[in-house]
Amino acid sequence: MLFRDSFLRFGCHPGVPCFTKCCRDVNIFLGPYDIVRLRKSLGISSGEFLARYTLSLVPDSTGFPLVLLKMGEDRERACPLLGPGGCSVYHDRPWSCRM
């Protein structure tokens, strides 16, 4: 049981049943800094990263472009950067994945 002064410790690793479950069926919005870090980590240009890994939306209400990581099109909708050992870009993962 947790109490007000308790600490919650959690380790994400292949031994826990929920490993990589948070990397599926989720909307991951990317900011410019995320895009730069990810494209550098993957060793590709920004244009190639945007074309291959993202969806761009421009809501009529704001006119401000939103960039989302394009999830898999299968039933699980897994992150395209997810591998058998977890996140393939862990050290450069997007801000929302670091929260």
What is the per-residue pLDDT across 58-98, written as a single tens digit (0 to 9) for each? Answer: 989 998 999 999 999 999 999 999 998 999 999 999 999 98
pLDDT of residue 72: 95
Handedness of CA 83, 75, 25, 27 (dihedral sign): positive
Do the beta carbons of residue 10 and residue 2 sit within 8 Å?
no
What are the backbone angles phi and psi of residue 94, rounded to the nearest 5°? -60, 160
User: Could you read off the pLDDT of 5-38 as tens digits, one per residue?
Assistant: 988 777 888 888 988 899 999 999 999 999 999 9
More confident residue, 2 or 34: 34
For residue 24, list its beta bridge partners: 78
Q: Is the pLDDT of residue 45 over 80?
A: yes
Which residues partner with 30 through β-bridges? 67
The CA distance from 42 to 29, in Å, is 18
What is the value of pTM for the model shown? 0.82
Residue 80 tokens, joined: 């395209």
